[in-house]
Each structure stands twice: as structure tokens, then as C-alpha cells.
Amino acid sequence: MPRQEVSSMKLLLENWREYLDEMVVDSSTSWGLIVKTDQMIPKMVGYHASSAVFDQFDNSRLGSNTDMGKAGEGKYNLDSYLGHMFVPSAQQLTPHMKKLRSRYIYSVTLTPGKVAVIDVRQFKKWFAKDDPNAKARLRQFGKWLKDKGYGGLRYTDSKSDTTLLSDTIQVFDSGDTNVRSIRNTETDKRFRAKDLQGQSFADAFGANQ
């Protein structure tokens, strides 16, 4: 290949690489449009519904059918891929336990630090459940948030204050959660972590948990 053609090809590749780099920058910059504001949550108590008893939250289970996004939200649950879902009051969960297919309410200490506040309705527009690329884009958004130092999200709803996602805290890392107690809503049996005396919560609830 003549030297001039090699030079032209090299210049073309360099321009293409710069173009791709600009696309990446533009994409990452656009994520900021979803965030309404920042909020600091150094420590708070949140509540989580589950059908199972466990001692600690597990990042490997993110996106499983235990997410709270399914209750009253048209079974939209893409949000659960980002982190563990909690509400600030146990009373928010009580009317939704059947829809959540859950009977246990967890009381959990949350320490996410800086969280991004977003409108759940805008979130659903950005990551539509019928978009085949939504999960991949959602993971990109999650990476962007973590790179920016966010430890979680706080969902609000601009048009309703009665759904679970009208005030929901999502914690990215299970290391920022600590289970305080678990209550079986069907039997009203409740165990606190400090009373387990070396047992697991599953042991405490017994075979008929």
C-alpha cells in the first residue's frame, strides 16, 4: 500500500476514534439529566419486603423477583437491577404485601451516603420496559452513578404520593445495609438481630418460617 494511502487510513482511524470518544462523553453527560438533585443519607432505617428469611442482603440477587418495584407499578422492575430497595416506613409496605408475594418485613440500617434523587416517571421513560437495550443502558447508568460517588438513589413520583416508588430508597451495595429485625406479618412473630445469640434469623424463625 502506498505511503499516502497508509497516512490517509491512519488519519481516518484517528478521526473515527475521536468521534467514538465524543459519543461516549455525550452519553455519560446525558445521564446527569435524570438526576433532580443530590441528598445525603449518612444513616437511616429503611424497610424491605421479602418472601424469604436471610441474614444479609446479597448483591448477586439484584434483579430477582423480590424487588419492591412490582407492587402497583405495572410490574415494572428494571429498577431492581441497580440496588436493594427500601421504604422509610413499614406502613408503606403493609397494603402491598400480597402483590409483593411477601410476608416478611425487614427493618434495616442504611448508610448509602450521597444519593441521587430522581423522578420515577422520568426513570421509566429513560429505561422503558419494552426497550430491549434497557438493561444494558441501566447498567451503564449505574456505573456512571457509582463513578460519581453515589451510594444509591431516592425515587420520587411527581404525580402521586401513594405508590411505593413515590418515596423509595435504593442502596447499591449490600455493605451499606445491616438487618436490624425481621417480622413475619402473618404470625406477627418478630426477631431482632441483637437477640439472636449466635443464631441465624432462619434458625430463630424455625422450620415453619
Q: Which amino acid is at 57?
A: F
Radius of gyration of the chain (CA): 22
Instruction: Give Dmax (Cα) for the chain.
Output: 82
The pLDDT value given to residue 129: 78
Neighbouring CB atoms inside 10 A of 194's CB total 8
- Which stretch of 18-22, 58-62, 131-135 has the lowest confidence by average pLDDT? 18-22
Would you call 88 helix, strand, or coil by DSSP?
A: coil
Neighbouring CB atoms inside 10 A of 87's CB total 22
Cα–Cα distance between 122 and 74 in angstroms, integer? 15
Mark out the alpha helices in the chain (DSSP H runs). 3-30, 120-126, 134-147, 201-205
Spans of all domains in the chain: 1-33, 36-205
* Sign of the torsion angle spanned by Cα atoms 169, 174, 176, 180: positive
117 pLDDT more than 70: yes
95 pLDDT more than 80: yes
The whole-chain average pLDDT of the chain stands at 82
pLDDT tens, residue by residue, 154-189: 999 888 776 777 899 999 999 999 999 999 999 999
What's the predicted TM-score (pTM) here?
A: 0.79
If you average pLDDT over residues 22-30, what whole number do you get?
49
- Which stretch of 32-46, 54-68, 164-178, 184-198 has the lowest confidence by average pLDDT? 54-68
Q: Which of 174, 35, 183 is nearest to 104 (CA)?
A: 183
